[in-house]
Structure 1
């Protein structure tokens, strides 16, 4: 029976990957209480500019800021989504907290997946190279990859160069862009593009399965802040500023 979405994994597995990511979104939203929202001091001066220059009302600007905080926690989950998709391709499997993200079943490939090319500082890059080099040394027929799903180019090349002032190179340690890695594992040149084109339909099909009540917004930060403004008669931004900076000179007069 022909797959509906992509050829390299089953429809049910892709829907399961989407379901797992959907759960991550729900959990991220659920965590944004007022206390969580205030964990990092809110820059209400910037939010004032954002509201005025982008012609947004205060509720919209706070909802945008909440979404920004959610987005930060979702980035890792997007990487996990790619791991789950790639780990289902025939001949490959997920690392399951084994020190690698994806490996070939015959130990000829090990990979560490990062969703974006710029998520590591120099120390993290050095540690990753050393880890991949150890796998290459332990498995003499293995090629080891730093995978950048969202890279600045399309490439599959040796990873070598200076990291933290030290020169690193290994004959079987590579860095590779997301499109090339999908092509390598599937044998399909445009596999990542095929996934991209299939996602809207697959997501729609998944959402049809979801109970309607799960769409109720479950982050409470804005409602908690608005409850306070009902008591204090402050604007939303003034309330946030007061609760974050009342110890600053003059700010206790808000």
Structure 2
């Protein structure tokens, strides 16, 4: 098996490649025959309303569809990468409805208790109608295991770190049911304040290795300055204290 190196001494880089290939590898394959068919009426209407060539609209619609699938996959990827930490383990289908928990013997520093974690890519990934059900699941796990439960919102709504009670509509605040941003979650998981940023910097190289694994050439080089600006426009400089 090929050895992979991305300058991340604090994570198993071969396993990082494996989980990245597992999540994204199929996206490099040809478009599935089971993909939803295009909507000709909508596409023609968009072309006329936006005064754009129909071919450009069709290509954009295909890209939009792929991007939606990619955005969904990113959340799963974060879950699996966090599961590579020595502090967290993935729970799988028998996890009681959440993605991760602290490894045996690992306690949350501020609480002295184990933790359970649901991972979402964005602060608004969960539909408002489903938030109460997720909260109830987190509360049940906290109560049943003398633990603290977290909703990890990798991309926060504001460029600020946080670790506070998660209070969706219809539920009262409970200190044991919390939410935090991605920088804070990764800092705990890998005991490294800059873990998420370092992972982000390595991502293009990891994905290039996945492309090579599937017989594809290296992708166009990532604009490093723009990529850095994107990260800094979204994520806080440091984890919550």
- TM-score, scaled relative to structure 2: 0.75
Report if aligned partners of 2:4, 2:17 keep a CA contact under 8 Å in 1.
no
Give the deviation of 1:29 after TM superposition.
2.9
Q: How does 1:146-161 map to 2 (within 5 A)?
A: 146-153=151-158, 154-161=160-167
Give the deviation of 1:157 after TM superposition.
2.6
Aligned residues: 205
Distance 2:82 2:143 in 1: 24
Match of 1:48 in 2: 48
1:96 and 2:102 are equivalent in the alignment:
no
Distance 2:205 2:4 in 1: 16
In structure 1, list runs of 5 or more residues that go unmatched: 216-254
Distance 1:114 1:12 in 2: 24
Distance 1:40 1:168 in 2: 47
Larger radius of gyration: 1
Give the deviation of 1:2 after TM superposition.
11
* Runs of 4+ displaced beyond 4 Å: none
Match of 2:233 in 1: none
Match of 1:30 in 2: 32
Distance 1:105 1:174 in 2: 19
Q: 1:162 to 1:46 in 2, by over 3 A?
A: same
Distance 2:10 2:86 in 1: 8
Match of 2:117 in 1: 111
Higher mean C-alpha deviation, range 150-159 or range 95-104:
150-159
Distance 1:28 1:78 in 2: 20
Match of 1:16 in 2: 18
Distance 1:88 1:61 in 2: 40
Please report the RMSD computed on the Cα atoms of aligned residues, expressed in angstroms: 2.8
